[in-house]
Amino acid sequence: MTRRVTNQLPALVVFALGLVAWEWVFSPLAGKFLLPKPSAIATAFWHNRQLLSDAGWFTFKEALGGFVFGSAGGIVVAIVLARWRKVGEAVMPYAIAVNAIPIIAFAPITNAWFGPLNPHSKWAIAGILCFFPVLVNTLRGLTSVRPESIELMSSYAASQFEVFRRVRIPSALPFIFTGLKVGTVLAMIGAIVGDYFGGSTRALGVQIENSISLFDFPFGWAAIVVASAFGIVFYLAVGAAERLSVRGVPSTGD
């Protein structure tokens, strides 16, 4: 425990110095109106803590829905592409092309498909953002297994299903969780971006957009801090699941 705190000490010092510089240097230079002090942001959060907490939870549920469907889709497609390599060679260029499209271009389309007040429109945006990193990392993990392991399973006359279940998928777990951790951040971004193009007044993105349009910058920054906090907790939760899941998983030798 002491070692963990010591390892985190440099980051905490940088964070504290950043807050001090923001409070006493950057905010006065930029103007308190455009860049509120952290103390003003903290005050705005405290006075609106229930509203912001509810909005953060509402948006987190949107992000979680997209994360689940996008990540599950990425893992399933990766398994298919790893099993049938020729299919992967044909499909991957199109997956890359879709990933290259800015997500801001998808948001109005998904809102038109599902309706701006339907959470499924935000699920779709978050899911699209999560899909590609999970797909790429999972596919790399499934195809980076030691040849000796595959040869050993072949010597036992194991089926492809058994090879995937006992060798490829367990060995790919570290890669899968790398993609999932990236997906947690992207899912929150996708849900909030989707709110900018129409959403429930309970959503965090709508709260941010409305507060900035009314020049209530402390409230807007407080909402941004809440979004960041939910994203960090989401990331840490997946990281904790990774530590529980990858114990004893053999190295791929990379």
- Residue 65: which CATH number? 1.10.3720.10
Residue at 112 is within a domain: yes
Residue at 171 is within a domain: yes
pLDDT value of residue 91: 76
Q: Is 175 helix (H, G, I), strand (E, B) or coil?
A: helix
Which ranges of the chain have pLDDT less than 70? 1-7, 29-33, 148-159, 161, 247-254
Residue at 76 is within a domain: yes
Contact (CB, 8 A) for 70 and 125: no
Residue at 24 is within a domain: no
**Domain span holding position 54:** 43-245
Q: Measured at the alpha carbon of residue 112, what is the angle toward residues 106 and 115, in degrees to the nearest 5?
A: 115
R_g over Cα of the chain: 22
Give the residue among 83, 174, 75 at the shortest CA–CA distance from 131.
75
Question: How many domains is the chain built from?
Answer: 1
Residue at 253 is within a domain: no
pLDDT value of residue 153: 67
pLDDT value of residue 251: 47
pLDDT value of residue 33: 66
Residue at 18 is within a domain: no
pLDDT value of residue 130: 92
- C-alpha distances (whole Å) from 127 to each of 64, 78, 185 are 9, 15, 12
pTM for the whole structure: 0.84
pLDDT value of residue 114: 86
How buried is residue 188: exposed, middle or buried, by Cβ count under 10 Å (0-12/13-18/19+)?
A: buried
pLDDT value of residue 212: 85
Residue at 4 is within a domain: no
- C-alpha distances (whole Å) from 173 to each of 95, 151, 176, 180, 235 are 22, 20, 5, 10, 16
